[in-house]
Structure 1
Amino acid sequence: MRVYIPSTLPLLDAACHTGEFSPAPLTAYAVTPALREWYAEGDDEELEYAAMSQAARASVGLLAANPDAPRRRIVVACEVSAVPPPDGTVELGDARLELRVVVPWSAVASVHLDAAGAAEVVGKAAAAWDAALGGDEDAVFALDSCEGEDLLWYATQEIPDLLAAEGPRGGLKS
């Protein structure tokens, strides 16, 4: 199953160097039954995009929790064996699931990352995260503004070079 793990540059760097995303449980996003039911008319590509979009939004929450992380959303696409929760605790349209396993780096299919130019928009969204969760309309607008930024695609073999170019804290080298 293709899952999308929200991340940040420091978390991606750690996973690349340790060879795994951990500790379990990990929050990930995928085409769950709840998402499929919500987007009943969507094809597989649209459903995958919706799951990845939810992971990108969750990445903003990780950035809000780490003010030192560069303001770029990251979504890591992985192939893992995962089963969405069957107990009805997921809301209709929700792609979120919990992986109760460590995800090895070998499971990574690709990494999706904001261009450096998105840092201002993503930074405003991260600063507004808590207010957006509280329903503040301006904060929700700031969070929704991230959706206008495209995530760039990187193959797994490109990630070490990308991280090296970004510097030790994941920020652009001067």
Structure 2
Amino acid sequence: MYVFLPSTIPALVRLLEEGRLEDVPLTAFTADPGPGEDAEEVEYEAMYAAAGESLALLAADPGAPRRRVVLVADMPDRVVEHEGRAGEGVARVKVTGAVPYKKLASAHVDDADAARDIAVAVQDPASDAAEGHELMWFAVQELRYLVREDGA
């Protein structure tokens, strides 16, 4: 099952150094389309639900670069527990097992130019400051270069 994991640049650095995310359980989101719902659209909504949760992680880590990070992982169903709905066609889930690097499918990260607006959204989650910024897609093999770019 594909899960969208909210994250931060420092957490991504730890994942790359350690080869896995160990802090379980982890909050995540997944697409759970109903009849007639477009699966791609629901995945997009699940990704942005995780991006919203990334703002809370950034608020808890004042030193982290102000960029939302969403990691996409293909996890076995047995380690994913549904917790409830997080919007139309989106389920909030809990990942109860470690997430190995090899299970990552991609990452979605704000452009560095979004930092000022993301900082505003971290301070005021009700603001729409982050809404104008699309997350950029990164292949797993690009992640090491991404964190180097950010000075991590």
TM-score normalised according to structure 1 size: 0.79
- In structure 2, give the amino acid aligned to 1:46: E
- In structure 1, give the amino acid aligned to 2:113: G
Distance 2:147 2:86 in 1: 36
Instruction: State yes or no: 1:148 paired with 2:143.
Output: no
- Residue in structure 2 matched with residue 165 of structure 1 by the alignment: 149
RMSD of Structure 2 on Structure 1 (CA): 1.6
Residue 91 of structure 1 and its aligned partner are, at CA, apart by 3.7
Distance 2:74 2:85 in 1: 24
Distance 1:78 1:43 in 2: 20
Instruction: State yes or no: 1:50 paired with 2:45.
Output: yes
Percent of paired sites with the same residue: 39
Q: Deviations over 1:68-120 (max 9, x none)?
A: 111100000111113442xxx52462521001000000001111100011111
- In structure 2, give the amino acid aligned to 1:61: A
- Residue in structure 1 matched with residue 91 of structure 2 by the alignment: 95
Instruction: State yes or no: 1:59 paired with 2:54.
Output: yes
Give every structure 1 segment of 4 or more consecutive aligned residues whose post-TM-superposition deviation is greater than 3 Å. Answer: none
2:100 to 96, 100, 104: 104
- The structure with more helix, counted as a fraction of residues: 1
Q: Deviations over 1:106-147 (max 9, x none)?
A: 001111100011111110010124xxxxxxxxxx1x1x3312
- Residue in structure 2 matched with residue 7 of structure 1 by the alignment: 7
- The structure with more strand, counted as a fraction of residues: 2
Distance 1:151 1:124 in 2: 17
Structure with max Cα Rg: 1
- In structure 1, give the amino acid aligned to 2:3: V
- Residue in structure 2 matched with residue 137 of structure 1 by the alignment: none
Distance 1:31 1:116 in 2: 27
Say how many residue pairs are matched. Answer: 148
- In structure 1, give the amino acid aligned to 2:151: G
| SS of alignment partner, residue 146 of structure 1 | coil
Residue 31 of structure 1 and its aligned partner are, at CA, apart by 1.4
8 A Cα contact 2:86 2:92, kept in partner: no
2:73 to 73, 78, 87: 78
Residue 165 of structure 1 and its aligned partner are, at CA, apart by 2.0
8 A Cα contact 1:54 1:95, kept in partner: no
